[in-house]
Structure 1
Amino acid sequence: MALRFGFKRLRYFFVVFSTNNGFFPYLLLVGLMVVVVVVGMGAYFFGLMAPESIRAEGIENSLDAGFIDTFWWSFKHVLDPGAFAKDYLAPGSVLAFGVFTTIAGLVITGALIGFIINFIQSGMDELKRGSTVIHEMNHVLILGWNRKVVSILRFFSELRTHQPIVILTNADIDDVNEEIRQERRSFRNVRVVPQHGSPTVAAELKRVNVANSASVVLLAEEQTSGRDQSPDISTIKSLMLLDNIAWEGKKPNIVAEIAEKDNVRVANIAVSARAPIVSSTEFVSKTLVQCARHTGYSSVYSQLFSFDKNEILIHRVEGLSGELFGNVARRFENAILLGVSWVQSGAGGERRVAVLNPEPDYDLGEDDELILLAEPRKQLSAPLEMMDDEESGASIGHFENPKIQRLLILGWNENIGQIVEEIDGHANEPVDVVITSGQTSEFFNEYKDRHIADGIRNVRLTHRQEDTATELALRRLEVQKYDVIIVVADHSQPGYDPDSRTTLTLLLLRELRGEMSQAFPRVVAEFYDKESHELCRETPLTDAVMSPEFVSMQITHLAREPVLGSIYNELLSAGGIEIGLRPIERYVPLRSSCSFAQLMHATQKANEIVLGVRIGGIHGEPCLNPGSKSQFVFEAGDVAIVLAQEVYI
């Protein structure tokens, strides 16, 4: 009984030490092998070096016929079981030691192989479970998981930097691995390492080697959606942890997504306003409203912030102090000057200030850096010497956007309040906005009192409870009487895929358009997946906002260049500089040859900056930064894409 208990305790301590120290099994084997070799050397005292033993092929005395030859004989029996076959003519006592060392060697070798296999298998299991310690350097660390991660991975892949990306999330690691596996072809240029753990625990951040990361991206965990706790709580906790880390080397670029606009201020406090915060609801709402105001805005935005054609960068050029902004803008052959930026010091530390589309007679200062739109993989040319002005001959008149007097919103999600506020911010005349969704009137009135009522000035808001994915409801709405229809990703019908409902609504709108002789309203729709958008090509859709993709695009840019945050805010905010689409004949004559440099000079007369052109009407592809020497012959329906002061609806 005592012997059995002692054996159980030995086995227990072996398991405990093996679990707590990965080297213990190997140290134990080395110790066991030393003991077996020493016991095997006892054959020396039983005639191992005697003349009758030397006759055996496997026993030699050529070195010292003592310690060294005995050690070698015992050691090779432990490592090589075949050595025993060469002891054929040795005495029985020597053979007994040979049998012992050979069998013990087999046990040790088998145990060693088992430990090695177990070590490899444990490592693979840890990697699959997402519990391994990360030793990457200069990697991108994504904290959290939602539908935007796949888009972020794809955008980093388009950069072709072959950068490792580590994902730390509380989501089910098998689901994460499966989703990555399905989309792996889209991001071949990155190595993805999913890890399971809480981004709000300091030890987990240390495990994924946050101290040596190049960028940290914080996303709202999708699994908390629909619960009482805001999905932003864990993001803010992680931001506080990151802000309190004593960084030994260079601090990584940090960018965080906040799902609810009300939490943006709290997040900024958590990072002391030193990291860009992306409010996904605010961003999507702004983009939807801009698409309602400018037909074709989404395709311009996709190109402007893509990673394969053009990108916004901040560039310092020496020797431009005292030069006029308008003159410098016309001196770049393969880039477009958007504005200027500088670092401003204050009580709260340093912050970057960006001014887009300043007056052409703005004097560049010594500390001013240039904000440029340029191709990322082309060498930026130095500014050319100033050439004589080329007059375009076009008169620049006052531009007015088509008025939006009635706007219909189909569907319901968390962005509704922000969309209404954005419409109100862009309006200087009354706009009737009708929201139609599956929500009850009681729910809408409560939501309006809590999120909308205090802020709006020019929007007259009403709500109708209808199933927007039915033909009867759309007929009752008389959709033809509206100027613009916005179809949001509808979350008012639990259990239904929002993209499926959007697709069905657009198909029904196509049927209604076919029955009407008058002009049909412009239709802007929000999608989550590209595949759903592709199905709606033949519908009345004029602009599609891929909300996860657009937000992911901005997050990826900010993870690389956080200084671009102020530029993005300026482009999308109401009451400032905006991207506008203007008729080309506003600047240059139709059906006559015109260089892009001439168009650039013409737009300066209206205090605007031309970014590119769109040829072929609303279905044409935008051409941004074509180069100052590019020649065009414009026709009716072509538009100039410009940076301009906002024109209100």
Structure 2
Amino acid sequence: MGHTRPPSFRLRLRYWFDNTMARSTPALIGWLSALCTAVVVPVSVLLVWAEAHTPTTPRNLLLAAWKNVGTVFKLGGPVGTPVFVLLSVLVAALGVFFASTLVGLITTGVNEKIMDLRKGRSVVLEDGHTVLLGWSEQAIPIISELAQANANLRRAAVAVLADRDKTEMEDEIRALVPKPGPTRVICRTGRPDDPADVALVGTGTARSVIVLTPEGATADAQIVRTLLALNRGPAVPGQRRPGHVVTALRDAANLTAARLAGGPRTRVLCYDEIMARLIVQTCRQPGLPLVYLELLDYAGDEFYVTAEPRLAGRTYGEALLAYETSAVAGLRTADGTLLLNPPSATPIGEGDAIIAVSRDDDTVVLAQTPPAVDPTALADPVERPARPESVLMLGWNRRAPLIADLLARYVTEGSVLDVVADGPGPAQARAQALDGARAAGRGAPPDEVVASPLKTAFREGDIGSPHTLHALDIGSYDHVVVLGYDDTDAWQADSRTLVTLLHLRDLERSLGRPIHVVAEMNDDRSRALAPVNEGDDFVVNGRLIALLLTQIAENADLARLFDILFSPGGSEICLRPAAGYVRPGTEVSFATVVEAARRRGESALGYRVGADAARAPAYGIRINPPKSTLVRFEPEDSVIVLTGH
């Protein structure tokens, strides 16, 4: 067995030094003093020796060296008796210690305050601002929309509270919302379900509060906790409750709990129900997501509720043509009831308000003169007899049974829904979920068997495999729906959807005709990567919900309006062939289109040019054109109308 070499002197010295430094501040002061003394004293002696008039006696040499040392250490270097020198050194050392301690305390306090501000723990003192509680993919679109909505204001503020680093949130906002205009975005770090933290962002003086939908399986529980925290306030003296609160849950089963937690001032949307309804409506109305994005985006035209006393005593049909730059969509009665697309003969009473689509709230103004209508250009309605529809659903998530449920409410006898999916979970459970949806499609209780017009079938298959897709008779289906799997994160789900879309594009080439595809996306950036043709529709979940939340935060009345639009059995937005309203090839004013829709019991909101259906960014959609706009419709063009189901 060999002998171990003993540690070197250098290692032992380093070990002793480390142990000494481990004794914290006193050891650090001692080493610093020793090092300075070891350097300053010899250098002070050399300075005396190097002077032009070097002292000749040892006493004078010592006195000169002492003065140099005192100057360096800020001890003044006084001379005199040894007691006098000792006391002067003691007083000077105490002065240096006091000054250094004071500077250290001030520096530490300033640094702590700066760190506290960087951590986002100071109270927001704003009034009439919008508060965002939480952080998700909805945050950036909502902040961008609020900035656009507040573009005509002199001062506006958005306060964000999330359990994230303040500087990280600010950097992300600065990178993705580069020009917020007059809107200031204030970030604070804290838990949205802690009443003390919630009070930091001034919820008691806010105009509205948006509770964002977090990621994960516990999203609804986190929202309920946040709503309870809002009701526990105010924690800051002088604050009241916010004007109104809006949020979106994922599961409809939690709506009652959330509404109880939030109270009467809270508007709770159901994420899954809205997405399922939009997917089903888009199957029957291609291009519908683009219409909704245009209506919800503050960069375009939106819904506004405006009082107009001069229309009292007239009818809704007359109001349709009373505005040049706004498209009338309904009424809000004096008792608060919303009527979307009421009958043309509905009288407008005192206190009633107009629901209109317009560029801004100050552009909903009556026209000086009635717009011209050409009755000779009106066409006879084109009746389209109901026929069975066939839908292929590729992929699976928790919204799939709800989509089948809603689809059964729309289709006629003999319609078919085939589902192809893979992933965790038994196929039998998914097939049973579809079977249950067929009875629900007729509004039947769960234990009652009711015949459904929709026949459903489920089969296992990898939708990302070309072999699986080629084995399906894709050309026999009227619509193909691609769902994003929810057992993975949003990025992976969108990636699988993109792969499936590429294979569908390849099948289109072999068929020689387009396939109407309705694809569900989680991220708007994935939508930009998707292979597009004029027959495709993309439902971007996160962006659409973010836009809805923003609209309702700005105007609480719109919660009921959108609930009607996304409900089966209520009014809905449709794209109908333009040939059923005016004669193709005839140049007419848009006012003539409005009159044609009025005679069919509908409210015209705009039109879509089929030749521009694949051209970004509008994809042929034109919402709320001026009534005097001249347009010549071709057979592939559509009129966008608000109609009853």
Is TM more than 0.5 here?
yes
Q: How does 1:384-399 map to 2 (within 5 A)?
A: 384=368, 390-399=374-383
Task: Confirm or deny: 8 A CA contact 1:410 1:488 kept in the other structure.
Answer: yes
Name the structure 1 match of 2:389. 405
Task: Confirm or deny: 8 A CA contact 1:390 1:601 kept in the other structure.
Answer: no
Q: Are 2:235 and 1:251 aligned?
A: no
Q: Are 2:299 and 1:313 aligned?
A: no
Tell me which of 414, 418, 422 is aligned to 1:438: 422
1:418-446, Cα deviation, whole Å (9 max, x unpaired): 21122122224342111211143134146
Distance 1:164 1:93 in 2: 67
Q: Are 2:633 and 1:634 aligned?
A: yes
Distance 1:186 1:542 in 2: 32
Q: Are 2:520 and 1:526 aligned?
A: yes
Task: Confirm or deny: 8 A CA contact 2:140 2:173 kept in the other structure.
Answer: yes
SS in 1 for 2:643: strand
Name the structure 1 match of 2:258. 267
SS in 2 for 1:295: coil
Q: Are 2:605 and 1:611 aligned?
A: yes
Distance 2:361 2:309 in 1: 22
Tell me which of 120, 131, 135 is aligned to 1:141: 131
Kindly state the Cα deviation for residue 358 of structure 1 after the two structures are TM-superposed: 1.0
Distance 1:324 1:93, change over 3 A: farther
Bigger mean CA offset, 362-371 vs 420-429: 420-429
Distance 1:84 1:578 in 2: 87
Distance 1:191 1:412 in 2: 41
Name the structure 2 match of 1:217. 210
Distance 1:567 1:401, change over 3 A: farther
1:363-411, Cα deviation, whole Å (9 max, x unpaired): 1111211111111175432354557864244233254387452101111
Kindly state the Cα deviation for residue 459 of structure 1 after the two structures are TM-superposed: 2.2
Q: How does 1:500-519 map to 2 (within 5 A)?
A: 500-517=495-512, 519=513
Distance 1:481 1:566 in 2: 39
Tell me which of 454, 467, 485 is aligned to 1:490: 485
Distance 2:541 2:170 in 1: 23
Bigger mean CA offset, 96-105 vs 431-440: 96-105
Q: How does 1:444-593 map to 2 (within 5 A)?
A: 444-445=430-431, 447-448=433-434, 454-455=440-441, 457-492=452-487, 497-517=492-512, 519-538=513-532, 542-593=536-587
Tell me which of 101, 105, 108 is aligned to 1:115: 105
AA matched with 2:428:
E
Name the structure 2 match of 1:206. 199
AA matched with 1:206:
A
AA matched with 1:614:
R
Task: Confirm or deny: 8 A CA contact 1:275 1:562 kept in the other structure.
Answer: no
Distance 1:589 1:447, change over 3 A: closer
SS in 1 for 2:178: helix
Distance 1:524 1:455, change over 3 A: closer
Q: Are 2:347 and 1:368 aligned?
A: no
Q: Which runs of 5+ in 1 are unaligned?
A: 1-10, 12-80, 345-351
Name the structure 1 match of 2:316. 325
Kindly state the Cα deviation for residue 588 of structure 1 after the two structures are TM-superposed: 1.3
Kindly state the Cα deviation for residue 293 of structure 1 after the two structures are TM-superposed: 0.9
SS in 1 for 2:536: strand
AA matched with 1:310:
D
Name the structure 2 match of 1:68. none
1:308-360, Cα deviation, whole Å (9 max, x unpaired): 2211111011132211111122111111111100353xxxxxxx321011111
Distance 1:615 1:324 in 2: 31
Kindly state the Cα deviation for residue 231 of structure 1 after the two structures are TM-superposed: 1.9
Bigger mean CA offset, 234-243 vs 412-421: 234-243
Distance 1:391 1:541 in 2: 33
SS in 1 for 2:626: coil
Bigger mean CA offset, 441-450 vs 519-528: 441-450
AA matched with 1:122:
E
Name the structure 2 match of 1:70. none
Kindly state the Cα deviation for residue 453 of structure 1 after the two structures are TM-superposed: 5.6
Bigger mean CA offset, 496-505 vs 185-194: 185-194
Distance 1:448 1:191 in 2: 48
AA matched with 1:219:
L
SS in 2 for 1:462: strand
AA matched with 1:322:
G
Distance 1:217 1:493, change over 3 A: closer
1:536-580, Cα deviation, whole Å (9 max, x unpaired): 234575111111001100001111111111111111211221111
Q: How many residues align?
A: 553
Q: How does 1:351-366 map to 2 (within 5 A)?
A: 352-366=336-350
Task: Confirm or deny: 8 A CA contact 1:412 1:492 kept in the other structure.
Answer: no
AA matched with 2:219:
P
Distance 1:284 1:175, change over 3 A: farther
Tell me which of 217, 232, 235 is aligned to 2:220: 232
Task: Confirm or deny: 8 A CA contact 1:506 1:540 kept in the other structure.
Answer: no
Name the structure 2 match of 1:624. 623
Task: Confirm or deny: 8 A CA contact 1:404 1:483 kept in the other structure.
Answer: no
AA matched with 1:233:
A
Task: Confirm or deny: 8 A CA contact 2:316 2:344 kept in the other structure.
Answer: yes
Name the structure 1 match of 2:18. none
Distance 1:183 1:526 in 2: 23
Distance 2:422 2:186 in 1: 41
Distance 1:561 1:495 in 2: 30
Task: Confirm or deny: 8 A CA contact 1:506 1:539 kept in the other structure.
Answer: no
Q: Which runs of 5+ in 2 are unaligned?
A: 1-24, 26-71, 443-451
Distance 1:398 1:574, change over 3 A: farther
Distance 1:93 1:480 in 2: 108
Q: Are 2:291 and 1:292 aligned?
A: no
Distance 1:266 1:451 in 2: 24
Task: Confirm or deny: 8 A CA contact 1:219 1:258 kept in the other structure.
Answer: no
Task: Confirm or deny: 8 A CA contact 2:391 2:479 kept in the other structure.
Answer: yes
AA matched with 1:481:
S
Distance 1:460 1:511 in 2: 28
Identity of aligned residues (%): 23
Bigger mean CA offset, 305-314 vs 141-150: 141-150
Distance 2:385 2:280 in 1: 14
Name the structure 2 match of 1:38. none
Task: Confirm or deny: 8 A CA contact 1:583 1:640 kept in the other structure.
Answer: yes
AA matched with 1:139:
H
Task: Confirm or deny: 8 A CA contact 1:392 1:599 kept in the other structure.
Answer: no
Distance 1:320 1:96, change over 3 A: farther
Distance 2:636 2:122 in 1: 58
Tell me which of 386, 403, 406 is aligned to 1:419: 403
Task: Confirm or deny: 8 A CA contact 2:286 2:535 kept in the other structure.
Answer: no
Bigger mean CA offset, 452-461 vs 325-334: 452-461
Name the structure 2 match of 1:45. none
Distance 1:448 1:271, change over 3 A: same
Name the structure 2 match of 1:335. 326
Bigger mean CA offset, 140-149 vs 358-367: 140-149
Q: TM-score, normalised by structure 2?
A: 0.77
SS in 2 for 1:552: helix
Q: TM-score, normalised by structure 1?
A: 0.77
Distance 1:615 1:448, change over 3 A: closer
Distance 1:135 1:113 in 2: 32
Task: Confirm or deny: 8 A CA contact 1:471 1:508 kept in the other structure.
Answer: yes
AA matched with 2:206:
S
Task: Please provide the CA RMSD for this pair.
Answer: 3.5
Distance 1:316 1:101 in 2: 81
SS in 1 for 2:640: strand
